[in-house]
Structure 1
Amino acid sequence: MIQYQTAPIAKPAPLYTQSIIGKLADTMLEMAFSGQNVTPETLESYGFSKDVVERYGARATALARRRSIRRIERYI
């Protein structure tokens, strides 16, 4: 007997650049909170090439700053 199954709905793959920017921002945050200087040279030791840092560094820096800010609201 033949049985039919519906194909699972495939999720689109995340954009490669978005994942690189996120990883770069996470590394920047980790380095900054552990007291290390974040420079292109130190990011190379974490596996990021100079080209990647030059291309996505500004966006990753902005993302890291947004992630580092915590908003605390008071309830009156």
Structure 2
Amino acid sequence: MRVYRPADAGDDPLPMVLWIHGGGWVLHSVGTSDASCRGITNKTGAIVVSPEYRRAPEHVFPAAHDDVLATYR
């Protein structure tokens, strides 16, 4: 999991975005969405959390969904 915080974030609570990278639960990783997550953080001032989930076909459904849900919780 990667967590992106705005550079000028103080101690006040910030909004949070859970970014689930694309790839149809089969392709890509948190690294492929790095620029998008940094851009969202810089433009909105929100914390962005990008989980790395297990992907198919090595891990069958619902492994990826379980990983994302665990990150959310």
Q: Do the structures match in fold with TM over 0.5? A: no
Higher Rg: 1
More strand by share: 2
Q: Normalising to structure 1: TM-score of the pair? A: 0.28
Q: State the structure with bigger RCO (CA 8 A, min sep 6), 1 or 2.
A: 2
TM-score using structure 2 length:
0.29
Q: Greater helix percent: which structure? A: 1
